[in-house]
Structure 1
Amino acid sequence: MPEALPEPVLTARAMREADRRTIEELGLPGRVLMETAGRGAADVAARMLGTVAGRTVVCLCGRGNNGGDGFVLARVLHARGARVHVVTLADVSAMSDDAAANYRLLEQLAAADASGRLHLHRLDALVGLDHLPPADLYVDALLGTGLSSPLRSPIRELVQWLNERAAPVLAIDIPTGLDSDTGEVLGAAVAATRTVTMGALKVGLLLGEGPRLCGAIDVIEIGIPRHVLEQVARQPGCAWRATDALIRQWLPRRAHDAHKYSAGMALVVAGSREFTGAPVMAATAAARIGAGYVLCACPSDVRPILATKLTEVALLGLPETERGGIDQEDAFDVLDGWLERARALLVGPGLGRHPDTQRFVRALLERTQLPTVIDADGLNALVGFTDLIREHAQGRWILTPHTGEFRRLAGEVDLTRRIEVVQEYARAWGCVLLLKGMPSVVGWPDGTVWINATGNPALATAGTGDVLAGLCVGLVAQGLPPAQAAVCALHVGGAAADRYAAHYGTASMMALDLLAHLPVVLRERFDR
């Protein structure tokens, strides 16, 4: 089986470096890259149009290479029979060299075009954009990935005009007005129907407002070698995105002679009087993803309640103090033998914030050598004790905070720099940091970051975090390294949510619905 490869996700700076290396070090001319990019964009535009001949396309083109890609697209669609109107913002003398060369070619074609299907307009010479004919497709080739400050006139007005059109919009590389590194809107931004991006995904397409504004995404291979993309993807702020093929390759497979202990034992320390659902969801998820034996250790008072909810999961009662928290010393007497047998540990879902319980959690994390998933109240027990993470994580811990939990641990951080922040803290703490959100992001201790490729708003419901933590520990129990387990758990769990949303209304999903769809998803998308 050929090796599956992840998708690089680049910052604007990294993409410029990839272009430069390809042109200067490998000798592939920029004009060739632009031709390939424009032709790839034209193919996407043709699919959006259905029939190209006789259709009207309006291309708004800037003076840089993004505009040059638009000029190539216009030429290709004109050759296929479309009526094309190209609107430029600057004189050819102000364009980049490659863009200017392609614009001059358009001028020659327009002069020779007896059919009158190719029209070139300077924006400042138009009485108004509303004098253009209604189009079947609009193309945004205004700015590309270089924008770092709010849009100014006249581009801001162009963006507003474009967003008022009824026909679909194709953005080239990234919708104008969207920060390509953060997904922030810089004053105003094009709301594209589809985005065709060149060479590799851009971070801003996947974060912030990017998913809302870019529509469906097509990545066009333009000739930049894979090894160049991999090299520049090591720069700060860049990331990777897993594919189904990669997850299929990583997911553990049972041996033909497996038994429940060789298939992996997961120990889940969870639950409290107030929160009895969290341990059910986490422990069930660990079993459903394939852990051969799951033991849920919970406060003794909670055990009878969980016994009515969990059939396949074994239960262990932990002694409590008179004040109602977990009794640290007595709990270790009960747990010690199980900690030796388990292959992975999950601490936190629904444990509550009782001071005695928090002391027990910290002592457990200091004592155990097991690869460990720390979620929810396990994370809350570490607030003010992040030195414990630095000292003991050693790449074996998966932390799964949502934004609020992460800020309680790390303090006020600028999460518009989501990739850099996750890189920084995963490195500093020596852990796998799974920062939940849409999309969720996983940081590895070596600084590698993964942006999750699956999932949808159906996940915005209580309990999905408990399911995710259970998927993580279930995969680690089967021998998957914590770093890969976090990426796999996110991808597979999101795929289950996507399957649910394909059949039912997204707002109706509850956390356990993920586990109902998980077996089918594992078979349909991830079976080898």
Structure 2
Amino acid sequence: MNPLLEAHPEPVLTARAMREADRQTIETLGLPGRVLMETAGRGAAEVAARMLGTVAARTVVCLCGRGNNGGDGFVLARVLHARGAHVHVVTLADASAMSDDAAANYRLLEHLAEADPAHRLHLHRLTDLAELDHLPRADLYVDALLGTGLSSPLRAPIRELVQWLNEHPAPILAIDIPTGLDSDTGQVLGAAVAATRTVTMGALKVGLLLGEGPRLCGTVDVIDIGIPRHVLEQAARQPGCAWRASDALIRQWLPRRAHDAHKYSAGLALIVAGSREFTGAPVMAATAAARIGAGYVLCACPSDVRPVLATKLTEVALLGLPETERGGIDQEDAFDVLDGWLERARALLVGPGLGRHPDTQRFARTLLERTSLPAVIDADGLNALVGFTELIPRHAQGRWILTPHLGEFRRLAGDVDLTHRIKVVQEYAQQWHCVLLLKGMPSVVGWPDGTVWINATGNPALATAGTGDVLAGLCVGLLAQGLPPTQAAVCALHVGGAVADHYAAHYGTATMMASDLLTYLPAVLRTRFDR
């Protein structure tokens, strides 16, 4: 693969956007739909062959619908039959009820079945579900029932076919998307095929990555069916679509130190964090900022907390912020202490472990209103903005990275329906004119211009306390080195997830702690990202 091509982001499309890409390719560029179907089916057949190991004499049962998804299945069946497999094709409709391209491929199967002296190709027109009991046990089942157009719960008999398919122990290959899975949200529409592997055509679909998609799709292969890249990229600009970054792209974006760098030119990150109850969060965030390359990290914390942090942080400078008699940060005195540092800093992080004392929250809001620094707002920094979200579009100006988990986001935005998570992140990133990093599995980043990124790295090992503090620290460390907020958020997510993947590959997912991310970050930066 050309390294320059690898550095391109990968489009992730909605069903509507994929249909538009198909239409453009067929109508504008003149590539016939029959050719696209042939390429798709042959690509799916190659994946099926790898799953089977040896194709000859193996038994394949292919369940095919009447649309183009079924047509891809017909091509797959023909290719595997030609390679010596015993293939049983099950349909619910006659050729007259199929799409034109699917019908043409089905009629070709009919001719082959009639001419097959070894009787290795069998076509079954299903009129009664009881007929399924007469099918042989298969080495591989193929789900080519429904494609990406499904938007309502499955009905009989498809629902029963899905249930029947899931009862078999043999591997299942889903074509384009497992039947019953919403391709835009990853929601299960009544019932869905639990595939071992999914081959999706042209580009990734949003529903393969979100919701129940990762659980039901198994391993996902994207098949190049001949749709030009510029058509897919144009389609990806539609609402609800997104992008995924590759290691090569992140490698391009990550900053490199100049040969004559010093600690201030490498970037001063100012972190306002910590409280009596939460002393670990500032340690995680500050260490992450330093590990990702910020030249000078200064942690400003309540004065009472400073002695505790001094025992945990040796390479990070500490600044004690005066407190009120009530126990929160004293706003006016704190600004006197911070004044010169705010001028020297390149980036600001507000929130990890800061606490919810009213005086502290008032200070956090005022700090964000006064600063022109690029800023990361996390945890209690976000809590300080609850009820004051009008401050975000007024002051963010594209410079802020907000890092809420789902609960924090709902406290900020209200009881938002997150079924269409990509559209929601698009809407709020544009409305608030900020970079919105909505944490989850996977996490999603929205840019102020409406571009959305779905993170390509990470695993359940990240479901442990403190990983959000590390992420916030990675973000501010990258900002301090001059990376724009848009790229800093995507890079921090990708790199942090890559470290979690490294840990899980060596030790599993249940044992990781947030501090393990800090331990293995340097090695992953070096070996995977050439830093």
Q: TM-score, normalised by structure 1?
A: 0.99
Q: 1:102-181 alignment to 2 at 5 Å?
A: 102-124=105-127, 127-181=130-184
- Matched with 1:317 is 320
- Matched with 1:494 is 497
- Matched with 2:413 is 410
Find the aligned partners of 1:164 and 1:127 in 2 and give their Cα distance.
15
The AA in structure 2 aligned to 1:470 is G
**1:255 to 2:258 alignment:** yes
**1:13 to 2:16 alignment:** yes
- Matched with 2:285 is 282
- Matched with 2:359 is 356
Q: 1:61-460 alignment to 2 at 5 Å?
A: 61-124=64-127, 127-460=130-463
1:146-200, Cα deviation, whole Å (9 max, x unpaired): 1010000110010001101110000000000000000000000000000000000
| Partner SS state of residue 61, structure 2 | strand
Aligned residues: 528
| Partner SS state of residue 415, structure 2 | coil
1:98-130, Cα deviation, whole Å (9 max, x unpaired): 000000111111111111111110111674212
1:428-485, Cα deviation, whole Å (9 max, x unpaired): 0000000000110000000000000111111111100000000000011111100000
| Partner SS state of residue 286, structure 1 | helix
| Partner SS state of residue 311, structure 1 | coil
Find the aligned partners of 1:335 and 1:247 in 2 and give their Cα distance.
33
Find the aligned partners of 1:101 and 1:157 in 2 and give their Cα distance.
27
The AA in structure 1 aligned to 2:246 is T
Find the aligned partners of 1:127 and 1:188 in 2 and give their Cα distance.
20
One of 28, 32, 55 as aligned partner of 1:29: 32
- Matched with 2:55 is 52
The AA in structure 2 aligned to 1:344 is A
Find the aligned partners of 2:442 and 2:128 in 1 and give their Cα distance.
43
1:294-323, Cα deviation, whole Å (9 max, x unpaired): 000000000000000011111100000010
Q: How far 1:505 moved relative to its partner?
A: 2.6
The AA in structure 1 aligned to 2:212 is E
Q: How far 1:399 moved relative to its partner?
A: 0.1
Find the aligned partners of 2:93 and 2:417 in 1 and give their Cα distance.
37
1:35-57, Cα deviation, whole Å (9 max, x unpaired): 00000000111111111111111
1:358-417, Cα deviation, whole Å (9 max, x unpaired): 110011001111000000000000011111101000000000000111011000111011
Find the aligned partners of 1:512 and 1:374 in 2 and give their Cα distance.
21
Find the aligned partners of 1:92 and 1:315 in 2 and give their Cα distance.
74
The AA in structure 2 aligned to 1:76 is V
Identical-residue share of aligned pairs (%): 89
| Partner SS state of residue 416, structure 2 | coil
Find the aligned partners of 2:314 and 2:108 in 1 and give their Cα distance.
72
Q: How far 1:516 moved relative to its partner?
A: 1.1
Distance 1:126 1:376, change over 3 A: closer
Find the aligned partners of 2:389 and 2:112 in 1 and give their Cα distance.
65
Find the aligned partners of 1:522 and 1:85 in 2 and give their Cα distance.
49
In the alignment, structure 2 segments of 5+ residues that lack a partner are none
- Matched with 2:508 is 505
Find the aligned partners of 2:155 and 2:390 in 1 and give their Cα distance.
46
Q: Which runs of 4+ in 1 moved over 6 A?
A: none
Higher alpha-carbon deviation: 188-197 or 255-264: 255-264
The AA in structure 1 aligned to 2:418 is L
- Matched with 2:4 is 2
The AA in structure 1 aligned to 2:248 is A
| Partner SS state of residue 266, structure 1 | strand
| Partner SS state of residue 304, structure 2 | coil
In the alignment, structure 1 segments of 5+ residues that lack a partner are none
- Matched with 1:461 is 464
Q: How far 1:504 moved relative to its partner?
A: 1.0
Find the aligned partners of 1:212 and 1:282 in 2 and give their Cα distance.
31
Alignment root-mean-square deviation, CA: 0.9
